């Protein structure tokens, strides 16, 4: 008999991320065991990426549930006056708003670090 391994499918192009506990897509996960993991030092990371020639501000390391993450994302997008989204535990805001986002997160009591130079 073979011992059950803890490995397996973690991502599917059809369904996206897979819950390791119940092996269902995270969108339809019934156990809700997966919470986005933060960084070891507890600080949020704010970085800037370029996509299709346009700047995008990313906020990583939040350990909030989906509803609180969406609410924080909306609040930050409103303060920046631009659009964005929340994907896989990462808040994305259109444009280069790193300094404004960092100030807003510090005001909310978070420890924030700039990532990516």
**pLDDT tens digits, 53-92:** 999 999 998 888 888 889 999 999 999 999 999 988 899 9
Residues paired with 58 in a beta bridge:
47, 92
Q: What confidence tier does 36 reach under pLDDT thresholds 50, 70, 90?
A: very low
* Cα–Cα nearest to 45, from 101, 109, 108: 101
For the chain, give every domain's residue range. 1-34, 35-114
Cα→Cα distances 40→45, 61, 63, 101, 115, Å: 12, 9, 12, 21, 15
Task: Give the position of tokens 């933060």.
Answer: 38
Task: Give the position of tokens 């006056």.
Answer: 81
Least-confidence region, from 23-32, 78-87, 105-114:
23-32
Element (H, E) at 103: helix 98-107
Mean pLDDT (the chain, rounded): 79
| CATH tag, 35-114 | 3.30.780.10
* Cα–Cα nearest to 66, from 81, 88, 83, 51: 88
């Amino acid at each position: 008999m073979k011992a059950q391994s803890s490995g397996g499918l973690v991502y599917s192009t059809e369904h996206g991320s897979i819950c390791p506990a119940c092996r269902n897509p995270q969108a339809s996960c019934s156990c809700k065991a997966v919470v986005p993991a933060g960084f070891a030092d507890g600080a949020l990371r704010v970085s800037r990426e370029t996509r299709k020639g346009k700047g995008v501000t990313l906020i990583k390391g939040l350990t909030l549930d989906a509803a609180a993450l969406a609410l924080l994302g909306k609040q930050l997008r409103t303060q920046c006056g631009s659009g964005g989204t929340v994907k896989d535990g990462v808040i994305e805001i259109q444009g280069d708003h790193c300094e404004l986002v960092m100030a807003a997160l510090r005001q909310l009591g978070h420890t924030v670090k700039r990532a990516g130079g």
